[in-house]
Amino acid sequence: MSPVHPAGAPNAGKRRFVVEADGGSRGNPGPAGYGAVVLDAASGETLAETAEFIGTATNNVAEYRGLIAGLRAAHALDPEAAVLVRMDSKLVVEQMSGRWKIKHPDMRPLAAEARTVFPAPGQVSYTWIPREKNKHADRLANEAMDAGRRGEKWAPAGSRAALAGGPRPEAAADSAEPAELDGLDGLDGLDGLDGAGGPGERAGAPAATPAGWAAPADLGTPATFVLLRHGETDLTPEKRFSGSGGDDPGLSAAGRRQAEATAAALAARGTVQAIVTSPLRRCQETAQAVAARTGLDVRVDEGLREADFGAWEGLSFAEVRERHPRDLDAWLTSPQAAPTGGESFAAVARRVALSRDKLIARYAGRTVLLVTHVTPIKTLVRLALGAPARSLFHMELAPASLSVVAYYADGNASLRLLNDTHHLR
């Protein structure tokens, strides 16, 4: 089912990225490398960089490899985003736009691979830019080739491509023309994750470079999110909907004991370097328990609040089934469907992903405790795994449980822990 957008805004609510990519060969064919950068289309902020020395290859092969890497980096940030690709290769832009035929046998599999990264029709658009406006990606490609010449791998920590390219205040204006980005229609959004075309289910889709145990050493220390679900409230044992749209209950006596036990365990480990919490009372009380043990300040992030369950707030599942059967059925089958008067999983995913990206940038290479709720934690796990939206209904998160996701500099994420409650026993 495709989402319904307001007239004149076919991608309302979608995150929008700009991918700038380039590749080069010193000899054509010769020692080659690529570089790509993902930008926020609204602000021009750099969200991800990637580059690699690929050995002996032609310019065109390197350019296509840069395109694929840039699309994968964007996909790792948000597989439902609308993407505008900007390159100074007329060949790649015209071929990927479908206006030129791909005759060279080396180019066909690369173009096919690029199309599998964001398979939804119209999700990716292409535009040509002059070389002087592609300096960031060009410098990344040259850094990769220079590293290859030294027998090294390109490392993001040592990159100066963004600095050497100068300030980028024009990036948003040049990269995010409304006519081009608003024209990226045909998106199925999170609905597309429910079918066979979703990430992790696409037949023949290229696998991303694995993170975690297989991550190369040159990726550096990841940003690590320790995800703590708040302790129990009086509504928790009764399994009632308790989001951000109803009462704001505090911790029950059992919930306070859970928060204290968790705080003691985290303080003993000594790995948490910062604390960020949902604004809701039950999370703030849980976060303060940890802060009292660790001496860390607590920062509030609105994006970490629980879903708004609308008219379902305070009701049990059986009561919702009785009072709002059609809305419940829709909610159980489509992430675009919202609880009666509430917030859909798709809407939650968009704001959670935005908070995630900001926190990754703020806490790069550090371990941060995020005190939040069931839906945001499941959403972060789902996005890290590239899992379909329906996976939200197949995860269990106990009160005061801990989960851990690590985010690497190349855009990959690794789930390290899920629903751990050993500290409560």
Active site residues: 230, 306
| Coil vs helix vs strand at 198 | coil
Q: Facing residues of 316 across strands?
A: 240
Q: In what order do the strands lie in the sheet with 124-128?
A: 46-57, 30-40, 16-25, 82-87, 124-128
Task: Specify whether the CB–CB gap between 38 and 46 falls below 8 A.
Answer: yes
Q: Can you list the positions of beta strands (E) in 43-202?
A: 46-57, 82-87, 124-128
> CB atoms < 10 A from the CB of 393, how many?
9
| Coil vs helix vs strand at 73 | helix
- DSSP annotation string for 308-368: --GGGTT-BHHHHHHH-HHHHHHHHH-TTPPSTTS--HHHHHHHHHHHHHHHHHHTTTSEE
Q: Is the backbone peptide bond immediately before 29 cis, with ω within 30 degrees of 0?
A: yes
**Please, which residues have CB within 8 angstroms of residue 265's CB and are 6 or more apart in sequence?**
423
Q: Whole-angstrom Cα distance, residue 248 to residue 302?
A: 14
Of 300, 352, 14, the residue nearest 181 (C-alpha): 14
> CB atoms < 10 A from the CB of 210, how many?
11
- DSSP annotation string for 20-37: EEEEEESSSSEEEEEEEE
